[in-house]
């Protein structure tokens, strides 16, 4: 992954997680839990305004606890909110674990 980061530096865009490159959404797409990668771009919308960008819509109603990562959607993107145990059961893969990163500001 380090090699990938060196050769393909991310380009920041509003409304999209760009680091780490291998996000929970990307894991779900690769594991065929989310059927289309474009859906990941919507995760950061509708959470309220941001004075730097000004035109984001307010999310109504707010996502329920446990369904925040995908903005409260009720489609296949809800897999990003799943626990290790839920993913293991769905994939029938007892070795699955989410990768955790420490994010520093």
The structural domains of the chain, with segments of one domain joined by +, span: 11-91
pLDDT at 69 over 60: yes
For the stretch 38-61, pLDDT in tens is 888 777 665 556 667 666 666 667
Judged against a pLDDT cut of 50, whether residue 3 lies above it is answered with no
Is the pLDDT at 91 greater than 80? The verdict is yes
Q: What's the chain's length in residues? A: 105
| Alpha carbons within 13 A on the beta-carbon side of 3 | 0
**Token match 């290790």: residue?**
84
CA 1 from centroid of its chain's CA atoms: 18
Q: What angle do CA 73, 75, 85 make, to 5 degrees?
A: 95
Question: Could you say which DSSP state residue 33 is in?
Answer: S
Give pTM, 2 decimals: 0.66
What would the pLDDT profile of 70-85 be if each residue is shown by its tens digit? 878 889 999 999 999 9
Which of the pair, 48 or 35, is modelled with greater confidence?
Answer: 35
pLDDT of residue 68: 80
Lowest mean pLDDT among 45-54, 59-68, 89-98: 45-54
């Amino acid at each position: 992954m380090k090699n990938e980061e060196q050769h393909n530096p991310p380009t920041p865009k509003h409304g999209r997680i760009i680091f780490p490159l291998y996000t929970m959404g990307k894991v779900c797409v690769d594991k065929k839990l989310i059927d289309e990668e474009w859906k990941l771009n919507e995760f950061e919308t509708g959470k309220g305004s941001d004075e730097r960008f000004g035109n984001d819509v307010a999310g109504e109603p707010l996502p329920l606890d446990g369904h925040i990562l995908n903005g409260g959607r009720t489609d296949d993107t809800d897999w990003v909110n799943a626990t290790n145990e839920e993913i293991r059961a769905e994939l029938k893969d007892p070795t699955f674990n989410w990768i955790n990163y420490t994010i520093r500001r």
